[in-house]
């Protein structure tokens, strides 16, 4: 059953990547402007030579088949705006950095989110519950750049505990991971609380209480596994998004990850880099959703893989 499930998912992954490639290719060509457009107009002959070098002078259908053939061979081509780098090299350099930042942020989000959600559900309608949910709402409402500015003022200038920007030491991870992880922690806390409150009203929880089990055992052994389905569903796209980086956070803290490439590639009409990043995000999102499907079967044995 598991092998058949994985084979089906691999087939659908190939189809999904092809559809995303096709739609992205033609949408990028439909947008006015191109990768050779600059603030200062190039000599027509130079522009013609560059177009020939990157095969932009060919018919669109021919460009499509050429790029599709390269992508099938895992060759994403050269970046139009970063001529000394291939897209594969840009991703290989930036992805580990964004992934390290994303995993640190997600670890923080899971720790704080689960703790706050469980505490709120265990002490429903108490001062602790209301206080934690207010903090979760604030965490969702405050933008990353505001939070980053506050943390930099407090923990860099007032109390010089961490570096303001850069990359290379573990201390460089702390502030950007907090800025990136707190909104996810707020979402996880709210989802965990909602799921637990729903499960705690079920008959089997009442039976566990009637048997004399203490509250900690009831919550962590009996209630929490059944309450995590909404959280797991949220974590699928969240993990894909957080691993590929946040443009705002990476820009503020001068982190050389993939986040800024997403924005710059779109603004500068860098077709190859945009395509590579879109396909990468699609692959990560699809893989995360497959892991979510597998997690459902672990949390609830009644769920069958299809």
HSE value, Cβ hemisphere, 13 Å, CA-based, for 101: 31
Predicted pLDDT at 306:
62
HSE value, Cβ hemisphere, 13 Å, CA-based, for 282: 19
Where residue 125 falls (left for φ over 0; alpha for ψ -120 to 50; beta otherwise) is left
Q: How many CB atoms lie within 10 A of CB 71?
A: 19
Are 148 and 253 spatial neighbours (Cβ–Cβ below 8 Å)?
A: yes
Tokens describing residue 130: 């209301």
Percentage helix, strand, coil for the chain under 3-state DSSP, each rounded to 5: 75, 0, 25
Predicted pLDDT at 41:
55
Please provide residue 138's backbone torsions phi and psi, each rounded to the nearest 5 degrees: -65, -40
DSSP helix/strand/coil, 155? helix
Are 111 and 120 spatial neighbours (Cβ–Cβ below 8 Å)?
A: no
Predicted pLDDT at 300:
67
CA distances from 275 to 52, 97, 250, 263 (A): 20, 20, 21, 12
What architecture does CATH give domain 93-260?
Orthogonal Bundle (1.10)
Are 133 and 125 spatial neighbours (Cβ–Cβ below 8 Å)?
A: no
DSSP state of 200: T
Predicted pLDDT at 108:
92
Each residue's pLDDT, cut to its tens digit, for the chain (306 residues) gives: 677 878 888 999 999 999 999 998 888 877 776 665 654 555 565 456 556 656 666 777 888 888 888 888 888 888 877 767 888 888 898 889 888 888 899 999 999 999 999 999 888 888 998 999 998 888 888 888 888 888 888 888 888 888 888 887 888 888 999 998 998 999 999 999 988 888 888 888 888 788 877 888 888 887 888 788 888 888 888 888 787 767 888 888 888 888 888 878 877 778 888 889 899 989 988 888 888 888 877 776 666 666
Where residue 42 falls (left for φ over 0; alpha for ψ -120 to 50; beta otherwise) is beta
Element (H, E) at 20: helix 2-30
Predicted pLDDT at 43:
53
Residues with Cβ < 8 Å from 50, sequence gap 6 or more?
36, 42, 56
Predicted pLDDT at 279:
92
Residue with the two structure tokens 């460009």:
63
What ranges do the domains of the chain cover?
Answer: 93-260
CA distance 129 to 113: 13
HSE value, Cβ hemisphere, 13 Å, CA-based, for 239: 19
């Amino acid at each position: 059953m598991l092998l058949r499930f994985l084979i089906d998912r691999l087939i659908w992954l190939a189809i999904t990547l092809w559809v995303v490639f096709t739609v992205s290719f033609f949408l990028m060509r439909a947008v006015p402007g191109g990768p050779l457009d600059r603030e200062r107009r190039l000599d027509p002959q130079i522009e013609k030579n560059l177009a020939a070098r990157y095969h932009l002078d060919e018919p669109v259908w021919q460009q499509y088949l050429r790029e599709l053939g390269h992508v099938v061979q895992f060759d994403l081509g050269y970046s139009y705006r970063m001529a000394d780098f291939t897209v594969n090299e840009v991703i290989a350099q930036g992805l580990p950095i964004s992934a390290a930042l994303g995993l640190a942020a997600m670890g923080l989000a899971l720790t704080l989110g689960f703790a706050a959600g469980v505490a709120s559900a265990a002490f429903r309608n108490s001062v602790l519950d209301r206080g934690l949910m207010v903090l979760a709402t604030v965490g969702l409402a405050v933008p990353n750049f505001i939070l980053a500015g506050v943390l930099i003022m407090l923990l860099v200038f007032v109390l010089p505990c961490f570096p303001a920007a850069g990359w290379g030491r573990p201390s460089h991870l702390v502030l950007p991971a907090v800025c990136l992880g707190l909104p996810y922690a707020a979402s996880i806390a709210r989802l965990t609380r909602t799921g637990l409150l729903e499960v705690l009203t079920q008959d089997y929880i009442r039976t566990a209480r009637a048997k004399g089990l203490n509250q900690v055992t009831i919550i962590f052994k009996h209630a929490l596994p059944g309450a995590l389905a909404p959280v797991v569903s949220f974590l699928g796209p969240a993990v894909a998004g957080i691993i590929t980086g946040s443009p705002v956070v990476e820009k503020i803290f001068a982190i050389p990850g993939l986040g800024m490439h997403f924005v710059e590639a779109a603004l500068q009409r860098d077709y190859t880099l945009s395509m590579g990043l879109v396909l990468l995000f699609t692959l990560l999102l699809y893989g995360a959703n497959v892991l979510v499907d597998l997690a459902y079967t672990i949390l609830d044995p009644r769920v069958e893989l299809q």
